[in-house]
Amino acid sequence: MASKSSKLEWLVASLQEDMNWWVIEVSEDIPWDLDGLGIIDPKQWSYLVDLLDPLREYGLDTDLVEGAFVSYGIDKDLGDQKIRMVPNSESLFESEEIIFVLPDVLDDDETGPYADFLDHITTLRVKLLNDLIDFEQSMSTSELEEDLRDELNNMHFEGKNLHYFTEITSILDYTPAGYSLDDDVVDEDEKSSDKEEEVVEDIPDLEEANEVIKEDDTMKWDEEEEEEEEDLEGPTAPPDLAEEDMDPKV
């Protein structure tokens, strides 16, 4: 049976102060308040696709991913950082259109397709970590879930709504404390070299700069310094005047 989220004729989302999009109105009644119903924007989804890509090697089920979300296209800009959206049939992985992505949670956010998706990527992330990191003892999914539970609970206690983008990235980016993936480790010398190259690129061409700089009263210090040096040295005879021609009384 299709879920309610796939039946929504339209929804309205608002860009809020945390720079995330949140659903504020839907086409039909749902059994709970909309507070906390975040929708993933196009840039966020593109980032998630990049994070999901390494999991293909460990058995990522793209059909399960497709079934866990509903894609929406922009129908109308309502102004005041609000957009009306309607569902579309674009593929989450192959679409060339600008799509927003809503997790399929309106029926059940604990046992539905989205919950299955979270379990799936958690299992695959643990496989990836065990493959790439030399643990003394293999890591388990319960360890990852426990670490993330503490972190996400802290957000709840601080009165922050958990956006789905944050929930998903917390899994896909997870690495246990004290460890790092080889791909994430960058040699300090390389970092330093990169920074030096950036600085060099930012330095303007001095010859070009001198051509466009206009002299003003604050830029005459060189002339003033030369005048002061001449005053200290006193008057001098013209270089082409012979000594015998000079008046000794002067």
**Residues in CB range of 129: below 8 A, 6 or more apart:** 135, 139, 174, 175, 176, 179, 181
* Residue 147 confidence (pLDDT): 87
* Residue 49 confidence (pLDDT): 95
Question: For 56-68, what is each residue's pLDDT tens digit?
Answer: 999 999 999 999 9
Question: For 112-131, what is each residue's pLDDT tens digit?
Answer: 899 999 999 999 999 999 99
User: How many other CB atoms are there within 10 angstroms of residue 162's CB atom?
Assistant: 14
Q: In degrees rounded to 5, what are phi and psi of residue 21?
A: -90, 135
For residues 122 and 115, give the distance between their C-alpha atoms in angstroms, rounded to a whole number: 11
Evaluate if residue 232 carries a pLDDT over 70: no
* Residue 98 confidence (pLDDT): 86
Rama region for 216: left / alpha / beta (φ>0; ψ in -120 to 50; rest): beta
Q: Which of 34-43, 51-60, 71-80, 230-239 has the lowest mean pLDDT?
A: 230-239
Query: Domain map of the chain by residue range?
Result: 6-179
- Enter the pTM of the model: 0.68
Provide the 3-class DSSP secondary structure of residue 49: helix
* Residue 44 confidence (pLDDT): 96
Would you state the structure tokens that stand for residue 164, as one six-digit string?
Answer: 């789905």
* Residue 194 confidence (pLDDT): 52
**Comparison of pLDDT for 210 and 153, the residue scoring more:** 153
Mean pLDDT, to the nearest integer, of 89-111?
82
Would you state the structure tokens that stand for residue 161, as one six-digit string?
Answer: 């709504």
Rama region for 19: left / alpha / beta (φ>0; ψ in -120 to 50; rest): left
Evaluate if residue 221 carries a pLDDT over 80: no
Mean pLDDT, to the nearest integer, of 67-87?
94
The amino acid that residue 196 corresponds to is: E
**Comparison of pLDDT for 195 and 67, the residue scoring more:** 67
CA distances (Å), 111 to each of 24, 108, 131, in order?
A: 24, 6, 29
CA 165-168-171 angle, 5° bins:
145
Q: Which of 47-61, 130-144, 224-238 has the lowest mean pLDDT?
A: 224-238
* Residue 222 confidence (pLDDT): 52
Query: What's the gap between Cα 80 and its chain centre?
Result: 23
- Strands (DSSP E) found in the chain: 11-15, 21-26, 38-39, 69-79, 82-87, 100-103
Q: What is the residue-averaged pLDDT of the chain?
A: 77
Question: For 145-193, what is each residue's pLDDT tens digit?
Answer: 988 887 777 766 666 788 999 999 999 999 988 888 864 443 444 444 4
**Comparison of pLDDT for 168 and 1, the residue scoring more:** 168
Evaluate if residue 102 carries a pLDDT over 80: yes
Q: How confident is the model at residue 225 (pLDDT cuts 50, 70, 90)?
A: low
Of the ranges 41-50, 187-196, 232-241, the best mean pLDDT one: 41-50
User: How many other CB atoms are there within 10 angstroms of residue 194's CB atom?
Assistant: 11
